[in-house]
């Protein structure tokens, strides 16, 4: 959904918060065999190896596959502490799910972008390609870890004259 300046925001649906509470309870009562720390370690090592600044097609594709494997292991997640007070186990599970979502869309977007730009130095595509890639990547993540990428244009203007426009340019060190 796109919110435009000066547009009113639609009211929330009557049961807007229920999905968040359902998520909290699903994690709080997770009885699988794999601790959050083990899954987080796998995610961290995958991102460090396959989504570092210097990337290539093979490594990104491997990383996408490893992230998908982490998603398949989510039903085996284990949270031992069921309390609602100072529950670091539950907090780590919530944080892990958020990290996994961000890692998934980051890896998918990086894998799809065939150029080097900003924090992505793609060894197989070392040059910046404004003709094909001067666009924002929009990622939609489903509940199973599937990613649908779309794109929207980069606008070289601001919403106010009080701010100067700085067009993107190649990083030179």
- Which of helix, strand or coil describes residue 59? helix
Q: How many domains does the chain have?
A: 1
- C-alpha gyration radius of the chain: 20
| CATH number, domain with residue 80 | 1.20.58.100
Cα dihedral across residues 88, 91, 96, 99: positive or negative? negative
Identify whether 1 is part of a domain: no
Q: For residues 120 and 53, is the Cβ–Cβ distance under 8 A?
A: yes
Tell me if 96 is assigned to some domain.
yes
Is 5 a domain residue?
no
pLDDT of residue 168: 81
DSSP 82: -
11 in a structural domain? no
Q: For 88-133, write each residue's pLDDT tens digit.
A: 999 999 999 999 999 999 999 999 999 998 888 999 999 999 999 9
Q: In terms of residue numbers, what domain contains 126? A: 21-153
**Separation between Cα atoms, residue 64 and residue 105, nearest integer Å:** 9
Q: Tell me what pLDDT residue 118 has.
A: 83
Of 68-72, 112-116, 134-138, 167-171, the range with the lowest mean pLDDT is: 167-171
């Amino acid at each position: 959904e796109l919110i435009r300046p000066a547009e009113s925001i639609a009211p929330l649906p009557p049961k807007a918060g229920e999905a968040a509470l359902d998520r909290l309870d699903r994690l709080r009562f997770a009885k699988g065999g794999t601790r959050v720390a083990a899954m987080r370690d796998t995610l961290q090592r995958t991102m460090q190896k396959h989504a570092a600044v210097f990337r290539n097609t093979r490594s990104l594709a491997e990383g996408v596959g490893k992230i998908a494997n982490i998603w398949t292991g989510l039903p085996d997640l284990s949270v031992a502490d069921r309390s609602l007070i100072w529950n670091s186990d539950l907090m780590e599970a919530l944080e892990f799910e958020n990290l996994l979502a961000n890692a998934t869309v980051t890896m998918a977007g990086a894998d799809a972008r065939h150029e080097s730009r900003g924090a992505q130095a793609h060894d197989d595509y070392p040059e910046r390609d404004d003709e094909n890639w001067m666009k924002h990547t929009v990622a939609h993540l489903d509940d199973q870890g599937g990613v649908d990428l779309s794109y929207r244009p980069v606008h070289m203007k601001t919403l106010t004259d009080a701010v100067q426009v700085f067009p993107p340019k190649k990083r030179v060190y």
